[in-house]
């Protein structure tokens, strides 16, 4: 894994608020690389900037600051025309499989549209490629003549996957792609993603709020909070030996579908809501809700440190051994507590 | 008195349409269950299984073209046959509902305090200041900071989690015996969801309020409920204490749902799933409705299935349940090691 498909350097993205008087810091200094053929998971709550990062990766949004590097070239150094061509290699699949398809176009026309925009294929070639893509994602060729409303949610999501295959992407950004699907059929779609990755060497940026899904599909996982990465590492390390208090809280908040005897009954309950990205807290952005927070956390922005091999974290209190017991580090009033869930 | 269940549903069926010679489309049928005082029951199933329609039917909130059959006894009063006026007296006072999307359930042009106060005024005669005190106390009870200030704020000024707390305060203000919560945490982030789950559990325990928790999230049910009803294609297929349902389900559909949940165990194996799709209401199989998707389906499954007791506390709609050994949230082989 020495050849990144894409590298993001100190990405920042700011939006003006509607009346123009305020600035929303949606993404505020994020750097990472996605290797060829890997699945890079991005988890976080709403407003953490995870979808914005995904949109920047495929060129739907332009960074306010920072750069994107791919195939030895950087986004800022090439012309708009070159970028439009290059970004065909970066495709995106969205959460709402229905909204992503034009209700007035047949499935075949929806499949052909991206190829027509890319150009270089005859009508007959496009048709054949489209039908082959449809079969590749596990749908019958006769589905091509149908309209989106005649398909189930799972089938529509398969069509959305089929649409991007003829463009031969190297990276696919999957933004909450199974969130709208019933639990019983999610596995089928996730298996398809995995098979396509194995056969076509695709890299995925897999964005979701559901940790269990991301954990099962990703090689590495990044945890976002208020426009920053707070932790990044191999999936097993992040899930089983989390270094950041926010990751610990996210993991413990996930309800466990297990009988009581098998559940971990201790839960780190965070108080309060996520602060506004218009006015993010000073220092560490998580300090307003963090049980480990001390005086330094409100004052000094924590460094992005590699505490274990390939496992990075932005926290003053994390050590290679993990976090000290909560509260002991704290000199201020606890904002969160470990509670026995009854 | 305490032995009488707060809710008793007998042979409830829910259909829609059915005029000008067309038969009504039956969405839910043969619904039989009860909820004891203070009991927290999870109603789970996938989209389209009829769980939300059931919740609305219990509140008598379905549109005019709905056809209800059977009986819903709430605190000894028959809700299905009651007049609109008496249903209005029950709603809020005896039974209340919390919806998934608090932003659309709250009125944007009234303050939070006015909206909760309205629910109170419908059932009690109070002075303005009494009403205000009660509402502020209600807001404080659901953990809203600075309730006096929030009283005069509009829904858009609150976060999603705070809005859901307002909905809960509104549902609780008349101290109902039963709250129906339809996906109350689905629209919330997971750290906020944890707060709301804890709040609902605590309030239910403190006040003895029964809870019918409608959700597709089995983790939420595991952590908040005592009993779990599993619905599939308009029928209850399993009714069991929650730990039993999760640990050792007796219906293949419950087992399939549990196995479909992602499990991170350090390996990246296959994702489990249930093949096929839920049948459409107008194309239900004659026999077991789950049979076309069931790995265990045999000849006996072509006959309609009855929900039968397999023990005092468990009912299953599967003729083969006695002979099947089904995996739960943890596969049977590894369950022994973990436990």
The fold for domain A4-225 equals Rossmann fold (3.40.50)
pLDDT at B220 over 80: yes
pLDDT at B263 over 90: no
Residues 159-198 of B with CB under 8 A from A: 159, 161-162, 189-195, 197-198
Residue of A nearest to B242 (CA): A259
pLDDT at A21 over 90: no
- Could you report the per-residue pLDDT of A44-78, keeping only the tens digit for each? 988 899 999 999 999 999 999 999 999 888 998 99
pLDDT at B17 over 90: no
User: Does any domain span residue B21?
Assistant: yes
pLDDT at A265 over 80: no
Query: Cα separation of A160 and A154, whole Å?
Result: 10
Same domain, B135 and B263: no
| pLDDT confidence of residue A281 | 94
Query: Cα separation of A218 and A222, whole Å?
Result: 10
Going by pLDDT thresholds of 50, 70 and 90, the confidence category of residue A329 is very low
Same domain, B41 and B111: yes
- Chain B CB within 8 Å of residue A188 CB: yes
User: Does any domain span residue B278?
Assistant: yes
- Chain A CB within 8 Å of residue B103 CB: no
- Could you report the per-residue pLDDT of A67-116, keeping only the tens digit for each? 999 988 899 899 989 998 899 999 999 989 999 999 999 999 999 999 99
Enumerate residues 6+ apart whose C-beta is below 8 A from B132.
B113, B117, B151
Going by pLDDT thresholds of 50, 70 and 90, the confidence category of residue A4 is very high
pLDDT at A335 over 60: no
Same domain, B175 and B272: no
**pLDDT, mean of residues B20-38:** 90
**Which domain covers residue B256, as residue numbers?**
251-338
Residues 319-338 of B with CB under 8 A from A: 328-330, 335, 338
Kind and range of the H or E element at B52? helix B51-58
pLDDT at B245 over 70: yes
DSSP per position, B254-315: HHHHHHHS---SS---PPP---S-PPPGGG--SS-TTGGG-TT--GGGGSPPP-EEEETTEE
Residue among B51, B160, B189, B257 with most chain A CBs within 10 A, to mutate: B189
Do residues B295 and B252 lie in contact, with contact meaning Cβ atoms separated by under 8 Å?
Answer: yes
| pLDDT confidence of residue B332 | 59
Going by pLDDT thresholds of 50, 70 and 90, the confidence category of residue B187 is confident
Domain boundary among B210, B225, B240: B225
- Could you report the per-residue pLDDT of B316-338, keeping only the tens digit for each? 999 999 999 999 987 655 544 43
User: Does any domain span residue B286?
Assistant: yes
User: Does any domain span residue B257?
Assistant: yes
Strands (E), chain A: 4-16, 23-35, 39-43, 65-70, 73-74, 90-93, 171-175, 203-208, 220-225, 228-234, 266-270, 305-308, 311-313, 336-340
Same domain, B158 and B87: yes
Same domain, B154 and B284: no
**pLDDT, mean of residues B246-255:** 96
- Chain B CB within 8 Å of residue A264 CB: no
User: Does any domain span residue B240?
Assistant: no
**pLDDT, mean of residues A236-240:** 93
Query: Cα separation of A333 and A325, whole Å?
Result: 15
| pLDDT confidence of residue A326 | 62
Q: Where are the alpha helices (DSSP H) in chain A?
A: 50-57, 80-86, 107-118, 123-136, 153-164, 183-200, 211-217, 235-240, 245-253, 295-299
Q: Are strands B40-44 and B227-232 parallel, antiparallel or unpaired?
A: parallel
- Could you report the per-residue pLDDT of B139-161, keeping only the tens digit for each? 999 999 899 999 999 999 998 88
| pLDDT confidence of residue A145 | 96
What are the sequence ranges of the domains in chain A?
Answer: 4-225, 242-340
How many domains are contained in chain B?
Answer: 2
- Could you report the per-residue pLDDT of A128-177, keeping only the tens digit for each? 999 999 999 999 999 999 999 999 999 999 999 999 999 999 999 999 99
């Amino acid at each position: 894994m020495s050849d990144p498909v894409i590298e993001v350097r100190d990405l920042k993205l700011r939006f003006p608020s509607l009346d123009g008087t305020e600035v929303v810091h949606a993404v505020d200094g994020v750097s990472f690389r996605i290797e060829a053929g890997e699945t890079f998971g991005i988890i976080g709550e709403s407003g953490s900037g995870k979808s914005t990062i995904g949109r920047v990766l495929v060129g739907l949004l332009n960074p306010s600051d920072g750069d994107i590097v791919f195939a030895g070239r950087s986004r800022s150094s090439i012309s708009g025309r070159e970028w439009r061509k290059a970004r065909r290699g970066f495709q995106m699949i969205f959460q709402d499989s229905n909204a992503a398809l034009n209700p007035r176009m047949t499935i075949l026309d929806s499949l052909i549209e991206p190829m027509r925009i890319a150009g270089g294929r005859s009508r007959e070639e496009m048709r054949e490629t489209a039908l082959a893509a449809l079969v590749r994602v596990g749908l019958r060729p006769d589905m091509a003549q149908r309209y989106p409303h005649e398909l189930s949610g799972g089938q529509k999501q398969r069509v959305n996957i089929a649409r991007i295959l003829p463009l031969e992407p190297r990276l696919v950004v999957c933004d909450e792609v199974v969130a709208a699907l019933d639990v019983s059929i999610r596995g089928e779609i996730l298996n398809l993603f995995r098979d396509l990755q194995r056969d076509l060497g695709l890299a995925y940026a897999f964005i979701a709020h559901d940790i269990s899904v991301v954990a099962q599909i990703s090689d590495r996982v990044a945890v976002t909070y208020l426009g920053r990465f707070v932790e990044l590492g191999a999936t097993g390390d992040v899930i089983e030996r989390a270094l950041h208090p926010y990751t610990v809280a996210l993991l413990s908040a996930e309800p466990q579908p297990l009988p009581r005897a098998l559940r971990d009954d201790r839960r780190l309950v965070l108080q309060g809501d996520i602060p506004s990205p218009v006015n993010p807290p000073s220092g560490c952005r998580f300090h307003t809700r963090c049980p480990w927070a001390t005086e330094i956390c409100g004052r000094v922005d924590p460094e992005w440190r590699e505490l274990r091999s390939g496992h990075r974290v932005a926290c003053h209190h994390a050590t290679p051994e993990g976090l000290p017991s909560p509260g002991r580090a704290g000199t201020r009033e606890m904002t969160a507590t470990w509670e026995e869930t009854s | 008195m305490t032995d009488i269940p707060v809710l008793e549903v007998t042979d409830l069926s829910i259909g829609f349409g059915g005029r000008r010679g067309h038969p009504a489309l039956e969405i839910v049928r043969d619904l039989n269950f009860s909820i004891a005082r203070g009991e927290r029951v999870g109603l789970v199933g996938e989209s389209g299984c009829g769980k939300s329609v059931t919740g609305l039917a219990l509140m008598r909130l379905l549109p005019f073209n709905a056809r209800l059959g059977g009986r819903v006894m709430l605190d000894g009063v028959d809700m299905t046959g009651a007049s609109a006026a008496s249903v209005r007296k029950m709603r809020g006072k005896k039974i209340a509902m919390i919806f998934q999307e608090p932003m659309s359930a709250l009125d944007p042009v009234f303050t939070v305090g006015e909206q909760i106060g309205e629910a109170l005024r419908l059932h009690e005669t109070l002075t303005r200041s009494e009403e205000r005190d009660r509402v502020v106390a209600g807001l404080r009870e659901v953990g809203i900071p600075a309730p006096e200030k929030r009283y005069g704020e509009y829904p858009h000024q609150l976060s999603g989690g705070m809005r859901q707390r307002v909905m809960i305060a509104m549902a609780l203000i008349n101290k109902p015996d039963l709250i129906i919560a339809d996906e109350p945490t689905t629209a919330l982030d997971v750290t906020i969801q944890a707060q709301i789950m804890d709040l609902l559990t605590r309030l239910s325990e403190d006040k003895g309020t029964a809870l019918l928790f409608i959700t597709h999230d089995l983790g939420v049910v595991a952590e908040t409920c005592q009993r779990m009803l599993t619905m599939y294609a308009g029928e209850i297929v399993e009714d069991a204490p929650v730990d039993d349902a999760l640990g050792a389900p007796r219906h293949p559909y419950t087992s399939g749902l549990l196995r479909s949940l992602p499990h991170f165990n350090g390996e990246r194996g296959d994702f489990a799933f249930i093949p096929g799709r839920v049948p459409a209401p107008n194309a239900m199989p004659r026999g077991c409705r789950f049979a076309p998707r069931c790995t265990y389906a045999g000849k006996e499954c072509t006959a309609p299935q009855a929900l039968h007791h397999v023990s005092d506390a468990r009912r299953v709609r599967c003729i083969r349940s006695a002979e099947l050994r089904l995996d739960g949230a943890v596969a049977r082989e590894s369950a022994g090691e973990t436990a």
